Chains A and B, each alone.
Chain A
């Protein structure tokens, strides 16, 4: 059975120190920050977000679909207008472009949702409303026997308060 600790910090540097320390001690933890801060990003040094891959794939799908729809429908009813070619690809570029943007953009958002696990239906464990207000937070998930060690590290690095979560 795993359990956890949640700590609140007031200062950015304190939070960063805590992160460094926890990393040294091989703790699993989640950081909360009222606004994205690069200091924290660097401290955590997490891998690059994979969202961009989805953007690429979505865009390619979109542009293909746009061209295909325009060309197929024209060929299906081969009707001449203004003496132009039945499937005139140049104007169809606009259709292709717009659907590229549409599908690409939507898949980007979808990717963000998937990777950051939202929407969340479950009650939020290891979270405190203060983290959207002004405070930084760290949630440490660990085996019960290591909790003392973790709390010590957090307090040592300037946690204003530390609370048990399970």
Chain B
């Protein structure tokens, strides 16, 4: 009889966060599965999301027929709301991978209960972002020319163009993050499958779970695979937003042509992503009654991350201004002056307030541990980060080298409808997701729930043989 030994290294997921409210495996299954039953509120939210999405789709069709002239573009501002929103959504996506992959490698346990949400958010955000380059181009029906597909004319894209880098980065990112999401779901789907009573759903879940059985070899390969996927996603997430930043840094445009852009964009992306995570997870833990899973400690930890990235972003803003002054480049200086004190001052100050000043509140632990404040702050962060992209794109283009071609920019109703539609599209998918699949990773939570040991149970409800009582009828299984 082998003596029970403490593991050589402590369990990854439970490195620093415990779930006192969760005592055994069965509780996890039952509570998480309970969240899957639809509610009136959910149907309402879904209806709103779909309505918004349809409005955006209609606006897009209108624009395709009439031409991009119906959007607000006013040359020289050749890029507008669509590219802003594209960068915005890609940025949102980054937090998901950061939490699920990077924090996994860093053994940051607080990720366990929020990463599933964040990962789903990533996939849907990237799905949304991917639409915008297509919405934005003049001949959307030709977008596939950007993809290197074999054709008899042997015409290929220009691999020197940052837009082609985008195509690769975004499609890779979408593929890898959705794979990551799915494989992470497999054991949980197996759980759902085994708890499911409706034969049809059971069948579907059985197929989705690929016949996963929780056997020890499966787990062994699974953990290894998960580790390497995380190891791959980490540089990927950093590269994707660097590539997006190249879209700007590679052009001569004053305000764009800066080497600081890749780190600046990555920080911004993660910052905005965390903001969106708060926007999503705080209502979920409230309405799904998951406060004892996503505890205040988790939020506190995430808020610290948010604070750090906010500082990095703020630092980047300041460095941009410093370099503009230090370079002695008159054009650059003109532009930055115009950005903050010129015609675009309002946008710049919205950005600075939401991304630099308000997050400073997170230095206070009281506010870090106040879910409502975090939620309000996260809304400001989302707005601020959208305006960050606005400030980067519009003022730069409107105030370029050639003074004769300086101009302004006002988005049209089409821009706005499609922007709103993108939120509809995103939340439509997200809402559908949270009622079909667990928003908290069941298997990983079980990892941090202390296992039952005979030693724990001595004297409590044991039979003569020193074993637990028999199964009750409520217990699933084939033994009875």
Contacts and interface: CB of A to CB of B under 8 A. Distances in A.
B452 A11 contact: yes
A105 B217 CA distance: 20
B175 A106 contact: yes
A97 B449 CA distance: 39
Nearest to A127: B213
Contact of A102 (B176, B214, B443): B176
Interface stretch (B74-82, B125-133, B453-461): B453-461
Contacts of A55: 228, 232
B413 interface: no
A144 interface: no
Interface stretch (B116-124, B190-198, B306-314): B190-198
B11 interface: yes
B1 A157 contact: yes
A115 B222 CA distance: 9
A60 to B, nearest CB: 13
Nearest to A47: B220
Q: Is the interface of A mostly helix, strand, loop or mixed?
A: helix
B405 interface: no
Interface in B213-231: 213-225, 228-229
B235 A101 contact: yes
Interface string B12-37: 00000000000011100100000000
Interface stretch (B44-52, B138-146, B157-165, B276-284): B157-165
B402 interface: no
A128 B4 contact: no
Contacts of A84: 160
A82 B158 CA distance: 12
B263 interface: no
A106 B179 contact: yes
A91 to B, nearest CB: 5
Contact of A112 (B157, B221, B443, B470): B221
Nearest to B183: A109
B225 A92 contact: no
Interface in A67-117: 69-70, 73-74, 76-77, 79, 81-82, 84, 88, 91-92, 94-95, 97-99, 101-102, 104-106, 108-109, 111-113, 115-116
Interface stretch (B64-72, B422-430, B471-479): B471-479
Contact of A133 (B29, B220, B236): B29
Contacts of A52: 224, 228
A10 to B, nearest CB: 5
A10 B452 contact: yes
B25 A35 contact: yes
B241 interface: no
B5 A131 contact: no
A104 B168 contact: no
Contacts of A119: 210-211
B398 to A, nearest CB: 24
A42 B5 contact: yes
A41 B7 CA distance: 10
Nearest to A70: B159
Given A108-B225, A115-B221, A163 B176 contact: no
A7 B368 CA distance: 48
Contacts of A111: 221, 225
A20 to B, nearest CB: 4
Given A10-B452, A102-B175, A32 B228 contact: no
B451 interface: yes
B56 to A, nearest CB: 29
Given A10-B452, A105-B179, A131 B214 contact: yes
B90 to A, nearest CB: 14
A3 interface: no
B479 A133 contact: no
Contacts of A14: 454
B214 A34 contact: yes
Contacts of B232: 55, 59, 101, 104-105, 108
Given A105-B179, A130-B475, A51 B4 contact: no
A132 interface: yes
A160 B477 contact: no
Contacts of A129: 194-195, 476-478
Contacts of A131: 213-214
25 contacts: A12-B453, A30-B216, A31-B216, A32-B216, A33-B219, A35-B444, A35-B446, A39-B4, A39-B451, A41-B219, A41-B220, A46-B220, A52-B224, A77-B154, A81-B160, A94-B165, A95-B159, A105-B179, A105-B236, A109-B225, A112-B221, A129-B194, A130-B194, A134-B25, A161-B471
Closest 4 CB pairs of A and B: A120-B211, A35-B446, A129-B194, A112-B225
Interface of A: 8, 10-14, 16-17, 20-21, 30-44, 46, 48-49, 51-52, 55, 59, 66, 69-70, 73-74, 76-77, 79, 81-82, 84, 88, 91-92, 94-95, 97-99, 101-102, 104-106, 108-109, 111-113, 115-116, 118-121, 124, 127-134, 157-158, 160-161, 163
